[in-house]
Structure 1
């Protein structure tokens, strides 16, 4: 496999920080979920278009039927991931929604095992389990067994499954397709899907306040073009499992931002949960054998 010039974990870290801002921008916008998702993707496509048209259009002729199919389905999954997740933020807190939408290892471990025959190691299971436990603890006090919060939780969980499917499809296509072309195809399909969804729902394309337009553009620039694009770059070199584990850090960043902006104060279980998430991620990333051998050698 082609080796990247920089370690894939560096873009993944930057991507996680970027997507942590997504829930905040959505919460600040006053538009409906479908509209927010549509403009997020539309602006992403418009910003990427000049770059794509300058040097990547010829690559479209090399796409096989499998590539078109997988990229198109990935775009549809991404569209409905955004719709359901953004909608969940209307019913539950930033912490709860972000926690549930980032529980992707639950689906990624199974998906990569069946579709890519990737071996699930004990270390992966332990690290993923620790991080998932930490994610649940982050918003333990906010989970509810009935009412609107439960509805929001279910929406976020389904959005999580769709996001994992999106990454799994991308892991296959990105082995053969450049980052720019793959991202452009997926984003265009996602934008068209969202346009049809908004038309069917009868949601208004405008007018919106200047602040709403700012949140739409920031959603395109930071979580999408910086965050998701870096993830799409990374899955050429690492497994979807790696990205899914790293994304578990997103609730930590989102919870801290929600504290500052919305005064959603953290309780002790959320703080402890954040530390546990970090521990799970570190366990997954760090090569324990190398560290053990290093200390043994230098003892």
Structure 2
């Protein structure tokens, strides 16, 4: 496998800050969740199309039956991740929703172990637990034991499982396919899935005011084309576990943005929790790097 042009952690960091804006943009829209997700993906495909059709269409022929199945499943999972997460934001706060949707390590640790036989050290598992506990603390004050907020929390948790499954399938395919082709196909499948979902639900494709179209476009440009695309790029060189841990930064950024833009209160528990998340991520990355260095020495 060729050496990456830049360290994969750099695009991952940029991607995390990009996706942190997603919840804010969704909160600013008034369209149904499926419609918001559909236009987010459709605009992403439209923007990518010139590059894909000029330089990458020949790669479609290289996709094996396995690649098509994995990419299609990844696209469907991504579509329903957006539907459920966007819907959760209608019932619970930005902080609680992003906390639950970024608890991916719980699913990623299990997924990479069972499907890719990736074993993590005790230190890495402890670091992951620390980061997760900090992430939960961020939204502790907003969690509810009943009512609509609990329903929103449940939707966000399911969305979390779906985005992890999306990354796991992508981890396999991305090692054989270029970033542009993989992303274009996955986003295309996701767009088609969302189109039929809207028809099934009877939601409206429009018309919408200019402000709505602006939020749809921003969702495509920043969280999608900048955020998720950078994650897909990094999957060629790092495990889903690394990205899942890094995404725990998202609740911190989202909670701060929600405070300044939406006026959602930032509690002491959220501030303390953010600090714990940062500590957990630092511990995980440090341990992961040690394992990687030992593995490379053994191969040499």
TM-score by length of 2: 0.95
CA–CA distance in structure 2, aligned partners of residues 166 and 180 of structure 1: 17
Q: What residue in structure 1 maps to residue 202 of structure 2?
A: 202
Sort the Cα spacing of 1:208 and 1:286 in 2 relative to 1 into closer, same or farther, 3 A: same
1:223-242 → structure 2 map (5 Å cutoff): 223-242=223-242
Compute the displacement of 1:127 (Å): 1.1
Partner Cα distance (1:189, 1:266) in 2: 37
3-state SS of 1:249 partner: helix
Q: Distance in 2 between matches of 1:289 and 1:207?
A: 50
> Offset at 1:19?
0.1
Question: Secondary structure of the equivalent of 1:191?
Answer: helix
Structure 2 CA distance for aligned equivalents of residues 79 and 289 of structure 1: 33
CA apart distance, 1:280: 0.5
Equivalences for residues 87-102 of structure 1 within 5 A = 87-102=87-102
Q: Offset of 1:286 from its aligned partner?
A: 2.5
Q: Deviations over 1:18-61 (max 9, x none)?
A: 00000000000110100000000000000000010011000000
Partner of 1:281: 281
After the TM superposition, which residues 45-194 of structure 1 pair with which residues of structure 2 at under 5 Å, given as runs?
45-194=45-194
- Cα displacement string for residues 158-181 of structure 1 (whole angstroms, at most 9, x for unaligned residues): 000000000000000001000000
Q: Which secondary structure state, in structure 2, belongs to the residue aligned with residue 177 of structure 1?
A: coil
Q: CA–CA distance in 2 between the matches of 1:123 and 1:244? A: 17
Shift of 1:287: 5.1
Residues 234 and 153 of structure 1, relative CA distance in 2, 3 Å threshold: same
* Distance in 2 of aligned mates of 1:280 and 1:248: 9
Given that 2:41 and 2:187 are in contact with CA atoms closer than 8 Å, whether structure 1 keeps it comes out as yes
Distance 1:31 1:229 in 2: 24
2:244 match: secondary structure: helix
Tell me the CA shift for residue 197 of structure 1.
0.2
Q: In the alignment, is the contact (CA less than 8 A) between 2:139 and 2:270 conserved in 1?
A: yes
CA distance in 2, matches of 1:86, 1:70: 24
8 Å contact 2:137–2:269 — kept in the other structure?
yes
- Work out the CA distance in 2 between the residues paired with 1:65 and 1:113: 24
2:272 maps to 272
Q: Aligned partners of 1:288 and 1:243: how far apart in 2?
A: 12
Distance 1:289 1:69, change over 3 A: closer
3-state SS of 1:58 partner? helix
Q: Which runs of 5+ in 2 are unaligned?
A: 291-300
Which residue of the partner structure matches residue 294 of structure 1?
Answer: none
The CA distance in 2 between the partners of 1:276 and 1:91, in whole Å, is 26
1:132, 1:56 → 2: CA distance? 39
Quote the offset at 1:288 in angstroms. 9.5
| 1:285 shift after superposition | 1.6
Cα displacement string for residues 201-254 of structure 1 (whole angstroms, at most 9, x for unaligned residues): 010111111111000000000000000000000011000000000000000000
**Cross-structure match for 1:262:** 262
Q: Distance in 2 between matches of 1:289 and 1:170?
A: 22
